[in-house]
Amino acid sequence: MTQPPGFVPYNKLQVRRLHKTIYGLKQAPRAWFDKLKATILNLKFSSSKCGRSLFVFSDNKFVVYIWVYIDDIIAMGNNTKLIHSLVSQLNYVLSLKDLCDLDYFLGIEVQRLKDGSLILTQSKYISDLLAKTKMDESNPISSLMVGGYKLSKIGSEDFSNPTLYRSIVGAL
Protein backbone atom coordinates (compact mmCIF):
# COMPACT_ATOMS: atom_id res chain seq x y z
CA MET A 1 0.00 0.00 0.00
CA THR A 2 1.10 3.56 -0.53
CA GLN A 3 0.39 6.71 1.43
CA PRO A 4 -2.48 8.88 0.17
CA PRO A 5 -1.55 11.80 -2.09
CA GLY A 6 -0.47 14.88 -0.14
CA PHE A 7 0.54 12.91 2.96
CA VAL A 8 3.95 13.94 4.20
CA PRO A 9 5.33 11.46 6.75
CA TYR A 10 6.98 12.91 9.85
CA ASN A 11 9.31 9.94 10.13
CA LYS A 12 9.74 7.31 7.40
CA LEU A 13 10.33 4.60 10.01
CA GLN A 14 6.90 5.05 11.58
CA VAL A 15 3.95 2.85 10.73
CA ARG A 16 0.39 4.17 10.45
CA ARG A 17 -2.49 2.32 12.07
CA LEU A 18 -5.80 2.09 10.20
CA HIS A 19 -8.85 2.75 12.36
CA LYS A 20 -11.14 1.01 9.86
CA THR A 21 -10.68 -2.25 8.03
CA ILE A 22 -10.50 -2.08 4.29
CA TYR A 23 -13.34 -3.81 2.48
CA GLY A 24 -12.13 -6.88 0.63
CA LEU A 25 -9.29 -7.78 2.97
CA LYS A 26 -9.28 -11.19 4.66
CA GLN A 27 -9.58 -9.52 8.08
CA ALA A 28 -12.68 -7.43 7.19
CA PRO A 29 -15.32 -10.08 8.09
CA ARG A 30 -13.61 -10.80 11.41
CA ALA A 31 -13.40 -7.10 12.20
CA TRP A 32 -17.11 -6.68 11.33
CA PHE A 33 -18.07 -9.62 13.55
CA ASP A 34 -15.91 -8.32 16.41
CA LYS A 35 -17.61 -4.92 16.19
CA LEU A 36 -21.05 -6.57 16.02
CA LYS A 37 -20.25 -8.81 18.98
CA ALA A 38 -18.97 -5.90 21.07
CA THR A 39 -22.10 -3.90 20.25
CA ILE A 40 -24.42 -6.79 21.13
CA LEU A 41 -22.58 -7.49 24.39
CA ASN A 42 -22.82 -3.78 25.29
CA LEU A 43 -26.62 -4.13 24.92
CA LYS A 44 -26.53 -6.61 27.86
CA PHE A 45 -26.68 -9.77 25.76
CA SER A 46 -24.60 -12.77 26.72
CA SER A 47 -22.75 -15.05 24.37
CA SER A 48 -24.25 -18.52 24.20
CA LYS A 49 -22.28 -21.60 25.18
CA CYS A 50 -23.87 -23.44 22.22
CA GLY A 51 -22.09 -21.37 19.60
CA ARG A 52 -20.14 -18.17 19.30
CA SER A 53 -22.66 -16.66 16.89
CA LEU A 54 -25.71 -16.99 19.19
CA PHE A 55 -26.45 -14.23 21.69
CA VAL A 56 -29.15 -14.25 24.37
CA PHE A 57 -30.85 -11.44 26.27
CA SER A 58 -33.04 -12.37 29.22
CA ASP A 59 -34.72 -9.87 31.53
CA ASN A 60 -37.60 -11.02 33.75
CA LYS A 61 -40.26 -12.13 31.26
CA PHE A 62 -38.55 -10.95 28.05
CA VAL A 63 -36.16 -13.09 26.01
CA VAL A 64 -34.43 -12.14 22.76
CA TYR A 65 -32.12 -14.33 20.69
CA ILE A 66 -29.73 -13.02 18.04
CA TRP A 67 -28.13 -15.46 15.65
CA VAL A 68 -25.42 -14.33 13.24
CA TYR A 69 -24.46 -16.29 10.14
CA ILE A 70 -21.72 -14.63 8.07
CA ASP A 71 -23.38 -11.23 7.45
CA ASP A 72 -26.99 -12.21 8.16
CA ILE A 73 -28.59 -11.54 11.52
CA ILE A 74 -31.78 -13.09 12.86
CA ALA A 75 -33.38 -11.53 15.93
CA MET A 76 -36.23 -13.41 17.63
CA GLY A 77 -37.98 -13.04 20.93
CA ASN A 78 -41.20 -12.65 22.83
CA ASN A 79 -41.35 -8.82 22.73
CA THR A 80 -41.55 -7.08 19.35
CA LYS A 81 -40.93 -3.59 20.79
CA LEU A 82 -37.70 -4.80 22.37
CA ILE A 83 -36.62 -6.44 19.11
CA HIS A 84 -37.35 -3.26 17.09
CA SER A 85 -35.43 -1.20 19.65
CA LEU A 86 -32.50 -3.61 19.40
CA VAL A 87 -32.52 -3.50 15.58
CA SER A 88 -32.55 0.30 15.58
CA GLN A 89 -29.62 0.39 18.04
CA LEU A 90 -27.65 -2.06 15.90
CA ASN A 91 -28.58 -0.09 12.79
CA TYR A 92 -27.19 3.09 14.37
CA VAL A 93 -23.80 1.46 14.89
CA LEU A 94 -23.55 -0.91 11.90
CA SER A 95 -25.95 0.44 9.23
CA LEU A 96 -28.09 -2.68 8.81
CA LYS A 97 -30.63 -3.55 6.14
CA ASP A 98 -33.82 -4.80 7.79
CA LEU A 99 -35.55 -7.41 5.62
CA CYS A 100 -38.51 -7.65 8.06
CA ASP A 101 -40.21 -11.03 8.45
CA LEU A 102 -38.10 -14.13 7.96
CA ASP A 103 -39.40 -16.51 5.29
CA TYR A 104 -36.33 -18.46 4.05
CA PHE A 105 -32.90 -18.88 5.63
CA LEU A 106 -30.13 -21.41 5.00
CA GLY A 107 -32.49 -23.81 3.23
CA ILE A 108 -35.17 -23.57 5.91
CA GLU A 109 -38.60 -22.20 5.03
CA VAL A 110 -40.35 -20.31 7.81
CA GLN A 111 -44.14 -20.05 7.90
CA ARG A 112 -45.82 -17.91 10.53
CA LEU A 113 -49.20 -19.12 11.77
CA LYS A 114 -51.99 -16.85 13.02
CA ASP A 115 -51.40 -17.92 16.62
CA GLY A 116 -47.78 -16.66 16.40
CA SER A 117 -46.16 -20.09 16.16
CA LEU A 118 -43.73 -21.00 13.40
CA ILE A 119 -43.49 -23.98 11.06
CA LEU A 120 -39.99 -24.79 9.84
CA THR A 121 -39.64 -27.00 6.75
CA GLN A 122 -37.01 -27.88 4.17
CA SER A 123 -39.34 -29.01 1.40
CA LYS A 124 -38.03 -26.42 -1.13
CA TYR A 125 -34.44 -27.30 -0.26
CA ILE A 126 -35.12 -31.02 -0.79
CA SER A 127 -37.06 -30.35 -4.03
CA ASP A 128 -34.13 -28.30 -5.36
CA LEU A 129 -31.70 -31.05 -4.34
CA LEU A 130 -33.80 -33.71 -6.11
CA ALA A 131 -34.00 -31.53 -9.22
CA LYS A 132 -30.22 -31.03 -9.14
CA THR A 133 -29.69 -34.82 -9.16
CA LYS A 134 -32.48 -35.37 -11.74
CA MET A 135 -34.35 -37.47 -9.16
CA ASP A 136 -37.41 -35.23 -8.88
CA GLU A 137 -39.55 -37.71 -10.86
CA SER A 138 -38.45 -40.73 -8.77
CA ASN A 139 -40.91 -42.76 -6.72
CA PRO A 140 -40.48 -42.93 -2.94
CA ILE A 141 -39.57 -46.19 -1.20
CA SER A 142 -39.97 -47.22 2.42
CA SER A 143 -36.33 -48.32 2.85
CA LEU A 144 -33.20 -46.49 1.73
CA MET A 145 -31.34 -49.77 1.07
CA VAL A 146 -32.10 -52.02 -1.87
CA GLY A 147 -33.10 -55.46 -0.57
CA GLY A 148 -30.87 -58.43 -1.42
CA TYR A 149 -27.96 -56.28 -2.61
CA LYS A 150 -24.54 -57.92 -2.02
CA LEU A 151 -21.72 -55.64 -0.95
CA SER A 152 -18.29 -56.35 -2.39
CA LYS A 153 -14.73 -55.81 -1.17
CA ILE A 154 -13.74 -54.73 -4.66
CA GLY A 155 -16.10 -51.76 -4.71
CA SER A 156 -18.09 -50.33 -7.57
CA GLU A 157 -17.45 -48.28 -10.65
CA ASP A 158 -16.31 -44.67 -10.25
CA PHE A 159 -18.83 -41.87 -10.36
CA SER A 160 -19.14 -40.09 -13.69
CA ASN A 161 -19.22 -36.70 -11.92
CA PRO A 162 -17.41 -36.81 -8.55
CA THR A 163 -17.88 -33.04 -8.05
CA LEU A 164 -21.66 -33.42 -8.21
CA TYR A 165 -21.48 -36.38 -5.83
CA ARG A 166 -19.44 -34.36 -3.29
CA SER A 167 -21.85 -31.45 -3.64
CA ILE A 168 -24.88 -33.67 -2.96
CA VAL A 169 -23.25 -35.40 0.03
CA GLY A 170 -22.28 -31.97 1.40
CA ALA A 171 -25.85 -30.73 0.94
CA LEU A 172 -27.25 -33.70 2.85
pLDDT for 55: 92
Domains of the chain, residue spans: 15-99, 101-137
**Using one digit for the tens of pLDDT, what is the confidence trace for 20-72?**
655 566 677 777 788 888 888 888 888 888 888 899 988 888 888 888 887 77
**Using one digit for the tens of pLDDT, what is the confidence trace for 153-164?**
777 777 788 888
pLDDT at 151 over 70: yes
**Using one digit for the tens of pLDDT, what is the confidence trace for 98-109?**
667 778 877 888
The total number of residues shown for the chain amounts to 172
Query: SS3 for 169?
Result: helix
Q: Which is more confidently placed, 121 or 14? A: 121
**Quick one: CA torsion of 82, 87, 93, 94, rounded to 10 degrees?**
160
CA distance 72 to 122: 19
Identify any residues that bridge with 118 across adjacent strands, giving them in sequence order: 112
CATH architecture type of domain 15-99? 2-Layer Sandwich (3.30)
Angle between helices 162-171 and 123-132 (to 10 degrees): 170
pLDDT for 31: 77
pLDDT for 14: 67
